[in-house]
Amino acid sequence: MTSRERIRAILARQVPDRMGLFEHMWPETIRDYWVHEGYPEGVAPIEHFGWDIEGVGGTWFDLSPIRGQDETVQETDQWRAARNSWGATLKHWKHKSGTPEHLAYDCDSRAVWERDFKPRVDHWEPDRVDIESVRRQCAAARATGRFVVFNHLGHFEVLRALIGNVCMLESLLLEPDWIHDILSTFTRLYVSGFDYIIREVGLPDGFFLYDDLGFRNGPFMSPRTYRQMLLPYHKALMDFVHDHGLPVIWHSCGDVRKLVPGMIEAGIDCLQPMEAKAGNDVLEYAALYGDRISFMGNINVMALRTNDREAVRREIVPKLRALRERRVPYVFHSDHSIPPDVRLATYRFALELYRENAAY
């Protein structure tokens, strides 16, 4: 089977020739470490490792209200604080990946949203996306035979970017009408943007959408709040994708166990990355939901970070053998992204174990 055929089968909950293969890396993993451990400089990891899925990065069109804004507030040799195109002032590390420190948000009330922000995002403008770049990326990706996905952040990430975690979580309960107005506005922008890209470029093989709904110890909201506040807009976007005959891979970090039934109702076709360190277990999910969705991830990077081959073997082999025996449609992937303290030899060993156990 080609990569495209393999992933299509998995997302249709069919059993292909072998499990799929995909991965995400923290930027510094290859850039600062693996190039000194034998990784061929200048070679894309998707080519080097033979992954089955390729994203079209240009489809992350600009949703932000104040496009182009990037104002430095304070800076050192280690970090930079700046006001971004969402009106948020964030402090980022310069030389390593990490969650930014949230300093301030200009959009802090419904009145400010309606006056200063909503008019900037209540209609689609073609210059929010570089359509020629998307066209080139799509053509190159399709020529590889890999499964090609359009990517974007989801609604919860829009709320987080626009009004910040504290205001967002309080307002989900205290100002639901305001949150509904934000989410419905951005849903229209999502659908208009993707409709424009599809008309100009054509269809991908699927969509890969990212919405981090959980932290380590549980979801950011109750299942009831999710159903009332987020699910209708997730479903509207996924209905748009499904109306084009395409599947949706849904990324959500953290412990999302309580929200998965709602996500399935919204229309996800594959759950990713199922963070093991937050309590998720692909075998439990497969037993509960294997007749409705497929799965990607759950290989615990905490085991990979030991760089101990026996620890890596204990993490990978039992899961893959159980998935193979149960004939669960699955894509091999870490439970988030490969961090820089995982050695290149360790990741290559993980791929050896995958290849030894991936055939159905």
pLDDT tens per residue across span 150-177: 999 999 999 999 999 999 999 999 999 9
CB atoms within 10 A of CB 48: 12
Looking at 56, 77, 106, the residue that finishes a domain is 106
Q: Provide the mean pLDDT of the chain.
A: 97
Regarding whether 138 and 203 lie in a shared domain, the answer is: yes
Question: What is the distance between the alpha carbons of residues 256 and 259, in angstroms, rounded to a whole number?
Answer: 5
Residues 91 and 161 in one domain: no
- For the chain, give the number of residues: 360
Query: Looking at the structure, do residues 80 and 213 belong to the same domain, yes or no?
Result: no
Are 97 and 221 in the same domain? no
d(CA 248, CA 237): 10
| Residue 96's pLDDT band (cuts 50, 70, 90) | confident
Decide which of 57, 81, 106 is a domain's last residue. Answer: 106
All residues at 6 or more sequence positions from 85 whose CB lies less than 8 Å from its CB, including other chains: 62, 64, 65, 66, 67, 68, 69, 70
User: pLDDT confidence of 97, banded at 50, 70, 90?
Assistant: confident
The structure tokens 């110890």 sit at 217
Domain extent at residue 96: 66-106
Q: Looking at the structure, do residues 233 and 160 belong to the same domain, yes or no?
A: yes
Which pLDDT score is estimated for 281? 98
- How many domains does the chain contain in total? 2
User: How confident is the model over 301-322, as pLDDT tens digits?
Assistant: 999 999 999 999 999 999 999 9
The answer to whether residues 53 and 78 belong to one domain is no
Residue with tokens 């990741």: 347
What are the C-alpha distances in Å from 257 to residues 57, 162, 276? 29, 26, 11
- Using one digit for the tens of pLDDT, what is the confidence trace for 199-220? 999 999 999 999 999 999 999 9
Q: Are 144 and 54 in contact (CB under 8 A)?
A: yes
- 256 CA to centre of own chain: 14
343 and 235, same structural domain?
yes
Q: Are strands 294-296 and 214-215 parallel, antiparallel or unpaired?
A: unpaired
What distance in Å separates the CA atoms of residue 291 and residue 245, rounded to the nearest whole number?
Answer: 19
- 191 shares its domain with 335: yes
Summarised one tens digit per residue, pLDDT across range 178-199 is: 999 999 999 999 999 999 999 9
Of the three residues 106, 133, 165, the one that is the final residue of a domain is: 106
**233 three-class SS:** helix
Same domain, 149 and 222: yes
Q: Are residues 19 and 99 in the same domain?
A: no
